[in-house]
A and B are shown apart, each in its own frame.
Chain A
Amino acid sequence: MISVVLADDHHIVRQGIRSMLEAQSDFEVLGETGDGTEAADLVEQLNPDVLIVDIMMPGLSGLEVTRLVNKRSPQTHIIILSMHANEAYVLQALRNGASAYVLKDSDSNDLLYAIQEVLTGETYLSPPLSKRAIESYIQKADNTALTDPYETLTNRQREILQLVAEGYTNAMIAEKLSMSPRTAETHRANMMNKLSLNSQTDVIRFAIKRGLLSLDD
């Protein structure tokens, strides 16, 4: 017999899953709950083979429950049941220790298949989710990170960086770029903050280093 605990804040969802599982001969639902905190305690107490948990739950989110259960009851396999067909969620769920991520609107057989898979130690994701999609998501997320602070500067800030390096005061910058001295000051402060520069000398040094300022002028 495969023992299961169900955690979903909707009674109707739990009932649906229970009836589906009990229609199979080799499943036994040990307990169910609609509260996140209770779910972690119940698993610790009943020690089931599988925990089926929804992400959106009062008390603790399913992701947090997953993290807790993974830590406290590592022998229990965790299956996330979610309506979010989103790689970011899947990634977080897997990182927190889930073995499977099943979409609520997928075929009901999908859940049964997922249970079989996780019991053999496999990871399962409902289609259209896939490991490749997750990897590409990670790639995409990584690509948004900038390592060079200069890259974070807006065109305006780059213009101002140039002018500050050339010795323009806020008032002169404001005049040249047709903005108020106050705005110029804000841009200048933001620019310097982004580049971690503290003084005009720092700005000039940075500009020279980046080749923005030629020494011959």
Chain B
Amino acid sequence: MTKPDKVELGLFDQIQRAKYEWEITADALSQFVCLIDKDLTVQRANRAVETWELADVKQVKGKSLHNLFHPDCDQGESCYLHKFLSTLWTTLEKENAAQCEAEDKVLHRDLSFRVRPIIAKNTNTIQSAALVVDDISERKALERERGHLLQQVEEQAQLLNTILSNTPDQIYMYDNKMTCVYANLAAQWHLGLSEDEIVGKTWTELGFPQAEEATFNQMCKRVLTDKQRLKNELVQQRGTDATNYFEYIVSPVSGMPDAPSSVVVTFRDVTERVVAKREIQAAHDHLEQRVAERTVELSTANNLLEEEIRERQRAEESERQQRAVAEILHGITLALTRTLDLNTMLETVVNYIKRVVPFEAAYILMRDGDSDIVQVVYPTDNMNQDIPNLADYAIVQRIMATGKSLLIADTKQHSDPLPHTISDFEGRSLLAIPMIGGETIIGICVMEHSDLNAFTTEHERFAKVCAVQAAFALDNARLFAEADNGRSRLQALSRRLVDVQEQERRHLALELHDQIGQVLTGLRFTIENTMNLPDELVKDNMKFAQHQIKELTSQVRELSLNLRPSMLDDLGLLPTLLWHTARYTDGTEIAVNFKHVGLNDKRFDSNIEITVYRVVQEALTNVARYAGVKEVTVRIYVNEEALQLEISDSGKGFDTKSIFKEKHSTGLTGMQERVAVLSGTFVLESALNEGTHISAKLPL
């Protein structure tokens, strides 16, 4: 603007002055201010046009506004300024103002355009307009920065929310009045309440145990003052049988410079951890227990081992004793083998037993052969022929029957009578030992002492062992005597055999002469007669001869069968016995009740078969001769080891003691001998009017 040449203090001057003042004021503004015509050209602009480096203030008049800002705008109609200016006048008419803000790409700044119309008072029309352009680049940059920051905050909030919603831990926020102000999703689920229902409630109101509320509140207060986090545990019963374990941490809300007015409480469900810990504890306890048990077992095993060692020591001790006994036994055996004389042997036995058993008197009783008589055989000088049969004493019987030794500590307390009669000695204690040779009890060794309790079980044991050894030797001596006896019996048997053969021969000769000879003679006469007979009678005579021959055949057969039934060899025992008993019944009218077990189709050694047959034959013959009965029973029992045969009747019977001594044989001796030859046993039992029972057992 140009300064007027002269200052007039009239209206003009005042106008000029005002104009000048406005110009100064306008120039002082940092904004670009200008007046524009209706054709959008600049009338006047302030000095900002120069500071904005758009144009010289003196040359600005008449310039197109658009052109001033964008000297070479190539954006055509899309340019914001173009758009704004093209509608400016209509907008001004309507609004009485127009404005726009835009980022000017040409000037590289953010601009704010504000336009006001200048209205002619007389026409009331818009003549021109005043335009103020502000550089708002700084403000815009701040606004963008803020928007960016807001977005970041939003993102952080979302992230936090996501984390809070997805963590399995329950997270609460309590304010300094101990009311809950926030609860995450896990907490909502745990409490079964919505966030709205949770907020504003206290610990107890949210269902936590009331007993814990004071502790919790105190913790919160301490956290608020100390700004240190605190940790605690909580047990919560869920229903009747489930127990949940929680660990919770109360922390100050961090990142706040001043004392926090709220706390964050994080609950973590540690049930699994607690349970696992308990299981580990249980496993550990179990292990401890096993170790304890094992220790006990080891200790037991150790005790057993010690016991075993002691046992072994005892065994060794016992073995030493046994060895001593064995030495004595060896002595006995040696001494006994030097003789077969019974008296010498008995003497030796008693002397050796004396070395281990402290007795004052001893005597030995023995069974007399196979009889039931028990006699004193030692000491010989004390033997008294008048003493009763010792077999009558109950204790002798018991020992003989059971083979068990007898130890009497005090004879006065003993009820059974003792065989003191043997000697004059009356002992106060007694030890009786059976002498077992092979399977039979051959005698008893009796020891006595005048003291009470003189004998111990140890003595009993030693004496027993000695007695066994002695019994073997004595049994040998007995067998030797028996063998001696056997030889003479064999001789007798041979003699008897010759006798029997002779007898049989006599019988055969008689039979041949009496029976067969007679028939043959008759036959000879018949045939001789034939020659003298007329032809018509020859046929009859021949028929008679035929009849005589048949008779002869049957007699010869009978004779042959009696000598030895060929059937026995051909068919065996069962058919032969059936045949024999049938024939026996036919001849004697005595019924034979014959039964057997195991004889069917069975063949035995021919010696056994003939022996069984002969014993049955002989016994049945005896029954027919002497018993006077109508029935006899025959039983045969066969198993793998033996054949047992029994023939019994309930007839007259006889005195068994006298029968063997009788001169005329009843065949009993024969039977007995046949059975003995096959190592069998033969028992004959009979008494007058009490029947006879024969039983034989043959080993197979």
0/1 string, A177-188, CB within 8 A of B gives 1: 011111100110
The 8 A CB mask of B548-578 against A (1 = contact, 0 = none) is: 0010011001000000001101110011101
Using known A-B contacts A89-B567, A155-B648, determine if residue A181 contacts B401 with beta carbons closer than 8 Å.
yes
Known contacts A92-B570, A156-B693; decide if A144 and B594 are in contact (CB<8 Å): yes
B681 nearest CB neighbor, chain A only: A186
Docked-complex contact A61 and B570, CB < 8 angstroms: yes
Interface size class of A (residues with CB under 8 A): 35 or more
Known contacts A105-B553, A170-B401; A152/B683 CB under 8 A: no
For the complex, is A145 an interface residue (Cβ under 8 Å from B)? yes
Whether A88 lies near B575 (C-beta < 8 A) is yes
Contacts of B683 in A (CB 8 A): 183, 186-187
Q: Which residues of A contact B553 (CB under 8 A)?
A: 83, 104-105
Task: Please tell me if the beta carbons of B567 and A145 are within 8 angstroms of each other in the complex.
Answer: no
Q: Who on chain B is nearest to A153 by CB?
A: B635
Say yes or no: A141 contacts B578, CB within 8 Å.
yes
- A146-199 contacts to B, CB under 8 A, are 146-147, 149, 151-152, 154-156, 169-171, 178-183, 186-187, 190, 193-194, 196
Q: Is A78 an interface residue (CB 8 A)?
A: no
B372 within 8 Å of A (CB atoms): yes
For the complex formed, measure the closest distance between the CB of A180 and the CB atoms of chain B, giving whole angstroms: 4
Check if B504 is an interface residue, CB within 8 A of chain A: no
Residues in A with CB closer than 8 Å to B641 are: 193
Task: Give a binary string over B385-399; 1 marks a CB under 8 Å from any A CB, 0 the rest.
Answer: 000000000000110
The residues of A that contact B398 with a CB separation of less than 8 Å are 171
Closest chain A residue to B683 by CB distance?
A186
A92 CB, nearest partner CB in chain B, Å: 5
Question: Is B599 touching A145 in the complex (CB atoms < 8 A)?
Answer: yes
Contact B685 A88 (CB under 8 A): no
Chain B positions within 8 Å of A178 at CB level: 687
In the complex, the answer to whether A105 meets B554 with C-beta atoms within 8 Å is: yes
- Whether A39 sits at the interface, judged by CB under 8 Å, is no
The 8 Å CB contact of A63, one of B372, B570, B578, B597, is B570
Contact at B693–A180, with CB atoms within 8 Å? no
With most chain A CB atoms within 10 A of its CB, the pick from B553, B597, B693 is B597
**B570→A146 contact, CB < 8 A:** no
B544 contacts the other chain (Cβ, under 8 Å)? no
* Interface residue from A83, A92, A179 paired with B571 (Cβ < 8 Å): A92
Would B633 and A144 count as touching, CB distance under 8 A? no
- Contact A146-B571, Cβ < 8 Å, known A156-B685, A171-B397: no
B532 at the interface (CB under 8 A from A): no
Q: Which residues of B contact A193 (CB under 8 A)?
A: 637, 639, 641-642, 644
Q: How far apart sit A181 and B399, CA to CA, in the bound complex (Å)?
A: 12
Q: In the complex, A152 Cα to B636 Cα: how many Å?
A: 8
Q: What residues on A are CB-neighbors of B330 within 8 Å?
A: none
Chain B 574-586 interface mask (CB, 8 Å, partner A; 1/0): 1110110000000
Find out whether the CB atom of A154 lies under 8 angstroms from the CB atom of B372: no
Residues of B with C-beta under 8 A to A84: 567
CB of B682 to closest CB in A, whole Å: 10
CB distance from A153 to the nearest CB of B (A): 8
Residue B400 interfacial (CB < 8 Å):
yes
CB proximity of A161 to chain B, nearest CB, Å? 14
Is A83 within 8 A of B397, CB to CB? no
B695 in contact with A190 (CB, 8 Å): yes
- Given the interface pairs A146-B596, A182-B372, the reply to whether A88 lies near B571 with Cβ below 8 Å is yes
CA gap between A179 and B569 in the complex, in Å: 38
Bound-state CA distance A83–B554 (Å) is 9
CB of A144 within 8 A of CB of B557, answer no
Q: A83-B553, A144-B594, A144-B596 are in contact. Are A154 and B578 (CB under 8 A)?
A: no
Cα separation A181 to B393 with both chains bound (whole Å): 13
Please, what's the 1-or-0 string for A47-62, where 1 marks a CB less than 8 Å from any CB in chain B?
0000000011000010
Among candidates A83, A137, A154, A179, residue contacting B635 with C-beta atoms closer than 8 Å: A154
Are A194 and B637 in touch, CB under 8 angstroms? yes
Given A83-B553, A154-B635, A183-B685, does the pair A141, B575 have CB atoms closer than 8 Å? yes
- Report the bound CA distance from A147 to B596 in whole Å: 9
Tell me if B3 counts as interface (CB < 8 A to partner A): no
Contact B635 A152 (CB under 8 A): yes
The yes or no answer to B600 lying at the interface (CB within 8 A) is yes
Contact of B595 among A63, A151, A182 (CB under 8 A): A151
* Closest A residue, CB atoms, query B398: A171
**Is B370 in contact with A146, judged by CB distance below 8 angstroms?**
no
Chain A residues lying within 8 Å of B571, measured Cβ to Cβ, are 63, 88-89, 92
Chain B residues whose C-beta falls within 8 Å of the C-beta of A151 in the assembled complex? 595
Task: Give which listed residue, A56, A92, A171, contacts B401 with CB less than 8 A.
Answer: A171
* CA A181 to CA B578, docked complex, whole Å: 35
Residues of the A chain whose Cβ atoms lie less than 8 Å from the Cβ of B687: 178
A83-B553, A86-B575, A156-B685 provided; 7 other pairs, C-beta below 8 A?
A144-B599, A147-B597, A149-B597, A151-B595, A154-B648, A169-B401, A181-B372
Query: 11 A-B residue contacts at CB 8 Å?
Result: A55-B566, A56-B566, A105-B554, A140-B578, A144-B574, A145-B596, A151-B595, A186-B681, A187-B683, A187-B695, A193-B642
A contact set with B: CB distance below 8 Å = 55-56, 61, 63, 83-84, 86, 88-89, 91-92, 104-105, 137, 140-141, 144-147, 149, 151-152, 154-156, 169-171, 178-183, 186-187, 190, 193-194, 196
- 6 nearest A-B residue pairs (beta carbon): A88-B575, A171-B401, A180-B372, A171-B397, A152-B637, A146-B595
